[in-house]
Homo-oligomer: A and B are copies of this chain.
Amino acid sequence: MSEPALRLSILGLGTVASGVVRILTGPDSPVSRRAGRTFDIRHVAVRDASKSRDVEIPADRITTDWNAAVSDPEVDVVLELMGGTTTAREAVLAAIAAGKHVVTANKALLAEHGDEVFAVAREAGVCVAYEAAVAGGIPIIATMGCSMTGNRVVSIEAILNGTSNFILTGMLGEQRQYEDVLAEAQDLGYAEADPAMDVDGTDAAQKLILLTQLALGKKVELNEFPRQGIDTLELADMLYAEELGYRVKLLGVTRVVGDQLEMHVEPTLLRLERAIAQTDGALNIVELHGDAVGPLVLSGAGAGQMPTASAVVADLVEVAIGRAQHTFPQLNLWQDDSGLSVMPADQIQRRYFLRFNVEDKPRVIADVADILGRNEISLASIIQHEAPEVEDAENGGTPIVPLVIMTHRTTEGRIRAAESALAELSTVRAPHIRMPVAD
């Protein structure tokens, strides 16, 4: 190995950072041989230097001063593994300003501040590698950035949040309600103490923003497309979907339709036989469609210590052997030169799964069908089971039953208009459940 050691500062020493240290310092690690050089961990910046760790770092390499760690002139690369968007942003900008390459797993930082981060990095002539920020161990950034260069990307459909998928799999497999499985996921460490970003769709939407930017050169903001999490989902609706031959997944979709970009993250019905429908537990999956390559599916661990560390190390080796320095300037990052505009939500076209609770009385189905018909929505299938689900005492004992409808293809605008009209019917009760159906 003629190359000098690559000198690192690691910011944060949580789960993923410990995994990275483990890979780099493991006995007989293959990484140095593959990179053609060794790795020298100069600094590890932590909040609490006294905390015990499950990896061994010499005490003189541990610091609570991230600024010193990123500005040391003897450091070549900064690994930002602290998370968050405040200190992480400052630290990444400081690292870039000090001329360091950056490897990060922080999708929130890039989804929110990517334009700033990538612009200053380009100016400074350093690279920001972020394979670990999207879909954990799945090499989706490399695939999109390097392997799809001969393609125009037509669509991306993906499960990008492992926590949500773990909960959905648990709900269906064990016939349990959302709150129940969430509590278990938190006990097992699959869900954060504050799981809001995972279960409300924000995390998946941030990752989809990063993939869309890379694939299509289009900068999209979080508030520009429909986003719904799994936190309002009921087991009953998952079971109705199964009855119709579909599985509910938290699906992120980006699709080019003419000069518009259809984009959404929502619990979505997928035909049971599709690979995405069968992706269970904490796995992630990305199904790309390129005009030359056709469909291309990648699946694997979307989170977890070692899979995410695997992605961080892959980026680190890219920097070590000089590839990342060629890749980064070519990537279509935050350039917004696509000519695409985000499709307004009302214009999105697809089929829908609807569930209403209705009074089990004559004419109710006719009234519902009439309102849908007046909004030019035609019905593909209806489920109404005989057994009443709820006795409604206030209603003089009229049973309330769920009415499940699968529509033919229509627009989100028509569905919303129909829902408003349906809400006026005295025989239709909340909640109104609406989930799109993937083609």
Q: Which chain A residues have a beta carbon within 8 Å of chain B's beta carbons?
A: 19, 23, 30-31, 34-36, 131, 137-139, 142-143, 146-152, 273, 275, 278, 290-301, 304, 306-307, 309-314, 316-318, 321-323, 326-327, 329-330, 332
Contact = CB atoms under 8 A, between A and B. Distances in A.
B293 A301 contact: yes
A23 to B, nearest CB: 5
9 contacts: A23-B150, A30-B149, A131-B147, A143-B143, A148-B314, A275-B278, A292-B306, A294-B304, A323-B327
A313 B143 contact: no
Copy number in this complex?
A: 2
Nearest to A332: B34
B34 A292 contact: no
B146 A19 contact: no
B35 A314 contact: no
A34 to B, nearest CB: 5
Given A147-B142, A314-B150, A19 B323 contact: no
Contact of A35 (B149, B151, B301): B149
B310 A300 contact: no
B298 A297 contact: yes
Nearest to A301: B294
A330 B327 CA distance: 17
Given A142-B147, A146-B323, A151-B310, A34 B296 contact: no
Interface centre among A312, A316, A318 (most CB of B within 10 A): A318
Contact of A330 (B34, B278, B295): B34
A309 B307 CA distance: 31
A312 B309 CA distance: 30
Contacts of A34: 149, 330, 332
Given A139-B142, A294-B300, A297-B299, 12 more contacts: A23-B150, A34-B149, A137-B290, A139-B147, A146-B323, A149-B313, A150-B313, A150-B314, A294-B304, A297-B300, A298-B298, A323-B323
A103 to B, nearest CB: 12
A323 B322 CA distance: 8
Contact of A310 (B23, B293, B314, B332): B293
Interface centre among A23, A273, A310, A311 (most CB of B within 10 A): A310
B139 A143 contact: yes
A273 B332 CA distance: 38
Nearest to A30: B152
A402 B1 CA distance: 61
Contact of A142 (B31, B36, B143, B300): B143
Nearest to A296: B300
Contacts of A296: 137-139, 298-301
Given A35-B330, A326-B322, A23 B306 contact: no
Contacts of A301: 293-296
A326 to B, nearest CB: 5
A439 to B, nearest CB: 19
Contacts of A316: 150
A211 to B, nearest CB: 15
Contact of A146 (B150, B295, B307, B318): B318
Contacts of A23: 150, 292
A380 B69 CA distance: 60
A327 B312 CA distance: 18
A149 B314 contact: yes
A310 B291 CA distance: 9
B317 A150 contact: yes
A292 B307 contact: yes
